[in-house]
Structure 1
Amino acid sequence: MDKDVIRKRLLKTRSRMCASDVEVKSGRIVESILSLKQWINAQEVLLYWPIKNEVDVRPLLEAAWDSGKKLFMPCCRTDEPGLMDFGVVRAEHDLLGGSFGIKEPCRSRCEFPDAVSPDIVIVPGVGYDSHGYRIGFGGGYYDRFLARPQKDFFLSVGVCYSFQLVEGFPVEPWDQAVSLVCTEKELIWQN
């Protein structure tokens, strides 16, 4: 099945979610992530700011700050579509409205290191399959990041609601799978 068709269907379903469903299902996903030994042991984490009923991972931001983890968040490059820089965010006031209506690290307030090697990366998606491949918005931002050579292993966790688990979409050579898909109902580890 065509990715664009699946993307439109999943986004339509996600847009119809009520606030309480988003809160309850996101809460279950956040609880699962907080219980992962990789989260507990992580020194550096990479998170995103949710929009349009994406899994609300904002409690993970608070948990990272409270436990002294270094928190990175993406910032899209306006002059280079598909590429992101990563800023160290120490509090919510370090975030400003950015690309696609997503809060991003303020370039004048946040440190943007040349190399970023988080221990755990939380990856949003419009859809995922059971092998960890994702359907995003089509810009390839996370695929490019996940494909970068890394000095150390990190755990990549794709988060979505259970209705966003789909099979049968084409996987392109540049698509990068995550290590773990986490829904409100299950954890799907990749071998």
Structure 2
Amino acid sequence: MDKEILRRQLLDKRSVMRGPDVDSMSRSIVETIMSLEQWSRAEEVLLYWPIRNEVDVRPLLMDAWDSGKKLFMPCCRRNEPGQMDFGVVRAEADLTAGSFGIKEPCRTRCDFPDAVSPDLVIVPGVGFDRKGFRIGFGGGYYDRFLARPQKDGFLSVGVCYDFQLVEGFPIEPWDKNVQLVCTDKELIWQK
């Protein structure tokens, strides 16, 4: 199936989700991630701020702060499509309205190290397949990040609702898959 058509269909379906459904399914995903040994062990994590009924990972942000993990969040570069920097966020007050209406690290309050190599990365998506390939918004932001060399023990986790788990979309040579897909119903590890 054409990726753009599938992207629109999945976004339409996600946009009509009711708040209680978003909360319930997101809670299931968050609890599963928090039960992973890799989450407990991680000293540095990369998370995102959810928009438009994305999986609400804000409890992971709170847990990261409470447990002393170093928390990175993406910040899109203005006038450089597809490029992100990563700021160290110590509290929600460090966030500001950024690109695409997404809260992101404030460039004047947060540190932006030259090299970022977290132990665990939570990756949002419009859809994922069972091999960990994703449909995003088409900008290639996370593909560029996942293509970088990562440290030993690095784990990339794609999060989506069960209905966003789809097959049969084209995979481009530059697409990078995640190592684990977590839905509200299952965990899918890559071999």
TM-score category of the 2 structures, normalised to the smaller one:
over 0.9
Corresponding residue of 1:181: 181
**Aligned letter for 2:25?**
K
Structure 1: runs of 5+ lacking an equivalent: none
Q: Percent identity over the alignment?
A: 76
Separation in 1, partners of 2:32, 2:124? 15
Aligned to 1:3: 3
Shift of 1:149: 1.8
Q: What is the Cα deviation at residue 96 of structure 1?
A: 0.2
Runs of 4+ in structure 1 displaced over 2 angstroms? Answer: 150-153
Which moved further from structure 2: 143-152 or 116-125?
143-152
Q: CA deviation at 1:153?
A: 3.8
Q: CA RMSD in A?
A: 0.6
Q: Secondary structure at the match of 1:48?
A: coil
Equivalent position of 1:48 in the other structure: 48
TM-score (norm: length of structure 2): 0.99
Counterpart position of 1:137: 137
In the aligned structure 2, how far is the partner of 1:23 from the partner of 1:88? 26
1-side partners of 2:178 and 2:143: how far apart? 10
8 Å CA contact 1:117, 1:152 repeated in 2: no
Post-superposition CA distance 1:85-126 (Å, at most 9, x none)? 000000000000000000000000000000001000000000
Cα distance in structure 2, aligned partners of 1:152 and 1:107: 29
Aligned to 1:169: 169
| Contact map agreement 1:128 1:181 (CA 8 A) in 2 | yes
Provide the TM-score with structure 1 as the length reference: 0.99
SS of equivalent residue, structure 1 residue 110: coil
Aligned ranges for residues 149-168 of structure 1 at < 5 Å? 149-168=149-168
State the number of aligned residues.
Answer: 191
Q: 1:92 maps to which residue?
A: 92
Confirm or deny that 1:39 pairs with 2:39: yes
Question: Helix, strand or coil: the match of 2:6?
Answer: helix
Q: Aligned residue for 1:108?
A: 108
The CA distance in 2 between the partners of 1:183 and 1:70, in whole Å, is: 25
